[in-house]
Structure 1
Amino acid sequence: MKVRDVLNEVERLAPPHYAFGFDKVGLQVGDPTADVEKIVVSLDSGIGAIEFATSVGANLMVTHHPVIWDELTAVRSDNWAQRRVIELVRRGISLIAAHTNWDCAPGGINDALADRLGLEHVVSFGWGEKSERWKLVVFVPIANRDFLADQLSAAGAGVIGNYDRCAFFTEGVGTFRGGAESNPVIGERGRVEEVAEARIEMVVSGERRGVVEATLRAAHPYEEPAFDWVQLADGVAHPCGRIGDLQGVENFQGFVDDRLGSRSEMWVGHDHPVRRVAVVGGAASGEWQAALALGADAYITGEVPQHVALEASESGLTILACGHYSTEQPGMVRMGSLLAEVCSIPVVVFEPGMGLSGRPR
């Protein structure tokens, strides 16, 4: 298995277009054609994680936090950020980063966090990278309607939130006359034909437009299919946050710390039981207002500045700071499990000791 093969699997789980515009994701260090012997999955890309990868014989790391964030103007061993790059190259270890794309992706960091807490009826909310959107309108004989809709769906058309193969059908009559060089599937050259046709409408994200159009041309029965692209207002590729219901918990802070292995700080916003909980792992205190607007009783994230804690709690929202590691490590454990299912090589998840390599004590 090559580095590029693992990269393809990571990007299938965490599509790059979900990443925020400021982020740095993908293959950051290494040769995409190199063979992979073992993978280490890690939340952080620190020296401790790199040394762990070496100790277990891994030559590829998949991390949440990128190893290269700012533009490199030098690569020096006396600079911690740059030294990590030196160590990776020296040890022959490639590195793939899946950061905010894994935060936002279905099944990713924040779904894993919601699952760890036992939330039910979970939906997405909040931040998300803007995504160019189009509506595809295509006309096809009625007998071919469902086949074409299925092919377009498989290519990525018709995805709306948590639903796929979303389409609208109407029926009418299409007419055409083939020229001397045409090869009509229905009727004859030089004669006006009338065909009972279906109009199919499906939304398509900007990054899937080329693939969907190629699929349309290949799957459509006509020599010259008729179709339109209508540009829509930008949407959100996939929101980062998750919100859901929590049943039967009385000591909320104790419950959360037990599930996450954290020692949280909590600011209380009300005196009634917590039944609706919003989560965004890591540094995401700014999403508390969106959570409150959706009826959350409590908001869990990694880090909460004092001014946010004060404003949120005095606005009626209980807010918890559970730590970057505790809120994001469950998602990296899940990444490791998912890669192990599809990769033909060993996958090891790095879980540092308490107080070491980014894990608090």
Structure 2
Amino acid sequence: MLVAVMAAATALPQLYWMIFGKPVRTPFIMYSCVDDLFMIQRTGETMVREDTRGNQYTREEYEEKLPMLYMRQLMLSGTMMDTIRGIAIDAREVNNARSTFRYKPSDRYTPDPGLYPLFEAESGRANLEMPEDYFRITWRMEFTDAKTNKVDEEKSRLFSAALYHKGFQFPAVKIAGIPTTRKSCDEGYLVVDAAHQLFHVKMVRGKPYVRNVELPEGLRFEHIACVDFRDRLYYAYLIDKGGETWILTQDDYMLVKLPVGSFNPASEDMRIYGDFFNYNVIFNGDGFVRAVALDKDFNKIDEYGETWKIRMELPEGKAFTWLFPGTLKLESPNSNFLKFRVEVNPVARWIWLSLALAALHFLLLSRGKGYTLCKNLTGHLADLAIIVVSGIFGFLAVNIFPNRFFD
């Protein structure tokens, strides 16, 4: 019976939204270095391209307003500007300044691999090579050979001592890096220790390189995403407990807080597009989009946002609250973990349908031969309770998979 209720609570809401749900098309917002305002592209039955003043543009006009984004197309069509803001445009410099970053809540809620490869930062080779061992940081920094599964004691002691002498407190609570050879160079890992201190750890010519990064008092990071951009201005984007976004500059290890406001890293996306003139920071959440433009020194230039009704405020969402008590999910778009998640409807309109279904079930029982009111109630209290509590899920489960057969 319980399995049937769970199956219905999983399948019926999914089927409902598959039939009645309407996709939300979030507008694409970018800051124009030509007009110094935001350009908006809306998709739907027709494509609409406009700015925040309400002026609409053709596709070609829209692309000319965003030359850093559509440079290749503009060069092909011969409409690329020679200078912007009095600066001569060089294609190589524009490409070197271009960067793209995206944060999703599932980046934060994802399984920890437990073991990490530590690359040689100065191997003298043109391409990075995968090491033969992997490390973890528990009571020490321990390297294990991938083939033999044996611990490299000498290397483990060498790196553990280097961490200890820099004030590292074992174990590590967060290890962030880019554990792949598909990057321009290796800058190791950013590691948070048990005392919430931040360290930069890498291997240079077989020796440990450890740097303790000074943090403001009380600063705690929720997520760290290392990046590999051509301009090599910073090591990573860091998101603190309050939802503020920071960068860690390369070589001088300065922490800079981006003046973009806070967001909820548990349920909202963040995208950062960098170009020769600006950074576009875009937040997407349930029912809103917010864009912030920064200059190359990370000073705020402008901000623009839009809101719309969330799914549960639309007619199909209101109907959902009448039909279903909630939803049982195994997966979540905000997490890479599989587990049962119960999402109860915020409005208890479904209780009226539950009571009606319980009454209907009782009437169906009353049609049975030889049944009395007292016998019906005492013999089926459990079924009626299941229907009242779980609504249509319980009604289907009780009638399709009954606990007993009756005449």
TM-score by length of 2: 0.20
**Larger proportion of strand:** 2
TM-score by length of 1: 0.21
Structure whose CA Rg is larger: 2
Higher RCO by CA contacts (8 Å cutoff, separation 6 or greater): 1
